[in-house]
Amino acid sequence: MSGAEVLHAGLNLGDTDRDTHDAAGTAMFGFWMFLMSDAVVFALLFATYGVMLPATVGGPTPASEYKIGPTFVETLLLLTSSLTYGMASIAMKHGARLRHILAWMGVTLLLGAAFLAMEWHDFADMFAHGAYPTRSGFLSAFFGLVPLHGLHVLIGSLWLIVMMAQLLAFGTDARVKINLLRLGLFWHFLDIVWIAIFSTVYLPGLMR
């Protein structure tokens, strides 16, 4: 294995030239910067939620609106989707057949869609109980944080579809591999954010 190939452990760029490896490093660094800026946005929303949590003004409370069962299933769906995307990445790195990579990505897409469907159902139940974002400071903070994560999952799902189309059109060339690795970072980042939401929003909320 050449020294250039060692530079990017998550990629198998094969016998490409040095410029390709340098471009991969630049692309990945830029995407890490984007993820860190996104993490700052979520951190601010977590802080806002923590401050506004007691501000229910006699309306719906976390204990009355949160449901541990569906939320736990949503957590399992998202964590499993990270596993399946990881399997797609491993298949890509080791030169598996294109249909195997697409199959793992397809399973990831289905799991992401199931997560979004369940989350939408949760929000619909809250609306049915009169728990609107404008009802209280607590609900404004909740709907500022959790649906933003859901929007990210939706964007990631659309990105998955685009990347599956690129795989069919261009195969596993260096450009597609770099884009798939960036998508993987984005998808795993969403898992980390959801674990934080589950741990600091839903679980403590059920105990209030």
The domain that contains 120 carries what CATH number? 1.20.120.80
Report if residue 43 sits inside a domain. yes
Residue 142, domain extent: 33-206
Report if residue 7 sits inside a domain. no
Q: How many CB atoms lie within 10 A of CB 119?
A: 22
Q: Could you tell me the two tokens for 157?
A: 């799902």
Sign of CA dihedral 185, 75, 113, 167: positive
Above 90 in pLDDT, residue 178? no
Report if residue 101 sits inside a domain. yes
Query: Alpha-carbon distance 94 to 32, whole Å?
Result: 24
Q: Could you tell me the two tokens for 186?
A: 């984005």
- The distance of Cα 139 from the centroid of its chain, to the nearest Å, equals 23
Report if residue 85 sits inside a domain. yes
- Asked whether 113 and 157 are in contact (CB, 8 A), the reply is yes
Report if residue 200 sits inside a domain. yes
* Lowest-pLDDT choice from 12-21, 133-142, 199-208: 12-21
Interacting residues of 100 by C-beta distance below 8 A, sequence separation 6+: 91
Report if residue 20 sits inside a domain. no
Higher pLDDT, 15 or 44: 44
Report if residue 138 sits inside a domain. yes
What separation in angstroms does the CA of 170 have from each of 26, 173, 194? Answer: 22, 7, 33
Counting the structural domains of the chain, the total is 1
The structure's pTM equals: 0.89
Report if residue 129 sits inside a domain. yes
pLDDT tens digits, 125-160 = 999 989 999 999 999 999 999 999 999 999 999 999
